[in-house]
Structures are given as structure tokens and as C-alpha cells.
């Protein structure tokens, strides 16, 4: 999987070998938030070089979040002292790190399930108590540790936890997929309300992503842009000019005969 090398990333995604790892990355970037995607065994020195990061997501994975695995992340991810969201395997890592018991469950969960959430938790802010989510796991939290509290559950399963003092959250289901109906809201709550990423920062970042995408796509070529005078084509021409410079953008206005009086002159 391609890894970003973005010094201005705001969300750090730790990949534990998740089948939906790339989906997490895409869903966060759809919010206009830049990410960096790094493997689970990344060193503290590697992680700490991203000074603009405001939160961490630990992905799902094929393994079980054992105490041994959690101990390794205590010297890397947890040492950064940033807000953390653990998904599936990541949730188990958080549970093990704070004294919970994680073990094989009597039955697997594979598919869409209804769960009950605690809407007073910031992670679930603005959401109804009953939710439909996608779960794919055979391991789970069977006993909660003293530093955590349960914020989501279903029939016999602990589906979500929250640290009682620190901005650390875990969900056993997958908020990044469409089968988790309000998964996008969960990710938004984590990024905006828990990590404190400002909307103004997101808008600046969205423009930066557009400019970078234009430069990567166009490379050393010149662009011909056709302008109708409407918002879409005008914004496009402005972004092209900002990304490439006026010397590499040829903007042509097409008068289709339906323009208002003198509008073509203004364009």
C-alpha cells in the first residue's frame, strides 16, 4: 500500500494489516483532512517527525490485540500523547493497554449488527442510541479494565470503549465502511471534536490537496481551460492558475449566446 510522506498531515493512520485500511485513509481525506499512512511497527522517531499531527487512528487487522502488542505501542503510539481512535484490532490494543481482557469470543460477528451506543460520549455526539454497524471479528473484550468505560455494546459484546481521563477511544466495529450507517459522523466527531482540527484548517488543507493533485496530474504540461463564467469553471481556472502559474494556463471563455448583457466582457 502506498504511504503518504506528508509533513503537514493532521491524522496519522497506523496500519495493522487491515482489509479496510485504505478505506480509512480515503474516508478521512474525504473530510478534507490530510493523512499519513504508516505500518504498525513504525518507531517512535518515525512517528514523532510529523509535528502537525493532531490525532491517531489504529486500524483493524488479522491479529489479536494482546498485552504484548499493546506494550510495544506504549513505546511508540501511546508515547505521542495524542487523541487515539482504535478500530477492531486497534480497539483491542487499547483495551489490552489499559488492563482489559481480550480473548476469543464464543461466536464470531461477521456482518451488519445493531448496537447500542452512549450518545453522551463525544465520539457519538449527535447520534441516536441504536446504530447499525459492520463487525468482522472473532476476538473481543471480555472484561473491561479500570481505566476504561464501555460506550457501545450489543448482545454479549463490548463494542466500544473510552478512557476515563484521556482522549482515547476504541470501537470493535468498522466506522469507515458504508454498512456502518453513521460511520462518517463517528470519524468526523473524532477529527473535529476530539482532535480539535479546525474547519478553517480543513478548508486550507483541501485547497492544498487540490493544488498538489493538479501539479501531479499536469506535471510540465500547459492546460487549456474553457470558462462559462459560472462558479465551477471559474474556481477551476483560479486553482489551475494558482497551482501552475498564469503562463501555463490558457483560459478561453465560450459565449454560448445565452449570457446576460455584458457578462462575457466581465468574464
- How far is Cα 5 from Cα 42, in angstroms, rounded to an integer? 13
Q: Which value, in Å, is the radius of gyration of the alpha carbons in the chain?
A: 22
**Range 38-42 average pLDDT:** 90
SS3 string, the chain, reads: CCCCCCCCCCEEEEECCCCCHHHHHHHHHHCCCCEEEEECCCCHHHHHCCCCCCEEEECCCCCCCCHHHHHHHHCCCHHHCCCEEEECHHHHHHHHHCCCEEEEEEEEEEEEEEEEECCCCHHHCCCCCEEEEEEEEEEEEEECCCCEEEEEEECCEEEEEEECCCCEEEECCCCCCCCCCCHHHHHHHHHHHHCCCCHHHHHHHHHHHHHHHHHHHHCCCCEEEEECCCHHHHHHHHHHHHHHCHHHEEEEECCCCCCCCCHHHHC
pLDDT of residue 32: 82
Count Cβ neighbours within 10 Å for each residue of 8-36 and write b for 16 or more, e otherwise.
Answer: ebbbbbbbbebebbbbbbebbbebbbbbb
> Using 50, 70 and 90 to split pLDDT, how confident is the model at 107?
low
159/1: higher pLDDT: 159
Whether the predicted pLDDT of 172 surpasses 70: yes
Task: Quote the pLDDT of residue 203.
Answer: 60
Report pLDDT digits (tens) over 55-73: 999 998 777 777 777 888 8
Cβ–Cβ < 8 Å for 162, 123: yes
Q: Are 132 and 112 in contact (CB under 8 A)?
A: yes
Asked if residues 168 and 80 have their Cβ atoms less than 8 Å apart, the reply is no
Confidence of residue 217 (pLDDT cuts 50, 70, 90): very high
Provide the pLDDT for residue 4. 42
Which among 109, 137, 176, 253 is annotated as catalytic? Answer: 176
Residue 126: what pLDDT? 95
* Better pLDDT: 201 or 7: 201
Name the active-site residue from 29, 30, 75, 174. 174
> Which of 88, 109, 137, 253 is labelled catalytic?
88
Mean pLDDT estimate for the chain? 87
The answer to whether residue 45 scores a pLDDT higher than 50 is yes
Q: What span, in angstroms and rounded, lies between the C-alpha atoms of 76 and 16?
A: 14
Rounded distance between C-alpha atoms, residue 89 and residue 66, angstroms: 9
Percent of residues, the chain, with pLDDT higher than 90: 52
Sign of the CA dihedral running 56, 57, 62, 66: positive
The average pLDDT across 13-32 equals 87
Among this protein's residues, is 212 annotated catalytic? no
Q: The pTM is what?
A: 0.74
> Under a CB-based contact definition with an 8 Å cutoff, are residues 94 and 77 in contact?
no
**Segment among 22-26, 61-65, 94-98, 138-142 with least mean pLDDT:** 61-65
pLDDT at 261: 75
Measured distance CA(23)–CA(96) in Å, rounded: 25
The Cα–Cα gap between 10 and 243 comes to 22
pLDDT digits (tens, 9 = 90+) for 111-123: 788 999 999 999 9
Q: Please confirm, yes or no, whether 88 is among the known catalytic residues.
A: yes
Told to judge if 176 belongs to the known catalytic residues of this protein, a careful annotator would answer yes
Amino acid at each position: 500500500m502506498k504511504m503518504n510522506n506528508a509533513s503537514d498531515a493532521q491524522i496519522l493512520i497506523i496500519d495493522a494489516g487491515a482489509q479496510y485500511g485504505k478505506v480509512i485513509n480515503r474516508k478521512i481525506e474525504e473530510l478534507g483532512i490530510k493523512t499519513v499512512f504508516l505500518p504498525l511497527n513504525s518507531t517512535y522517531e518515525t512517528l514523532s517527525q510529523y509535528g502537525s499531527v493532531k490525532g491517531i487512528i489504529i486500524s483493524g487487522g488479522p491479529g489479536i490485540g494482546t498485552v504484548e502488542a499493546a506494550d510495544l505501542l506504549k513505546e511508540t503510539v501511546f508515547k505521542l500523547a495524542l487523541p487515539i481512535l482504535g478500530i477492531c484490532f486497534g480497539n483491542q490494543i487499547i483495551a489490552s493497554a489499559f488492563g482489559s481482557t481480550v480473548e476469543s469470543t464464543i461466536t464470531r460477528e461477521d456482518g451488519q449488527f445493531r448496537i447500542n451506543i452512549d450518545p453522551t460520549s463525544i465520539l457519538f455526539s449527535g447520534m441516536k442510541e441504536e446504530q447499525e454497524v459492520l463487525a468482522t471479528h472473532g476476538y473481543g473484550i471480555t472484561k473491561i479494565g479500570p481505566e476504561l468505560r464501555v460506550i457501545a455494546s450489543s448482545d454479549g459484546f463490548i463494542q466500544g470503549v473510552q478512557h476515563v481521563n484521556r482522549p482515547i477511544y476504541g470501537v470493535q466495529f468498522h466506522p469507515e465502511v458504508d454498512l456502518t450507517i453513521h460511520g462518517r459522523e463517528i470519524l468526523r466527531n473524532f477529527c473535529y471534536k476530539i482532535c480539535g482540527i479546525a474547519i478553517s484548517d480543513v478548508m486550507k488543507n483541501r485547497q492544498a490537496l487540490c493544488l498538489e493533485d493538479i501539479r501531479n496530474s499536469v506535471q510540465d504540461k500547459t492546460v487549456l481551460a474553457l470558462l462559462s463564467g459560472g462558479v465551477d469553471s471559474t474556481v477551476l481556472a483560479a486553482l489551475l492558475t494558482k497551482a501552475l502559474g498564469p503562463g501555463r494556463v490558457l483560459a478561453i471563455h465560450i459565449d454560448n449566446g445565452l449570457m446576460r448583457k455584458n457578462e462575457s466582457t466581465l468574464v
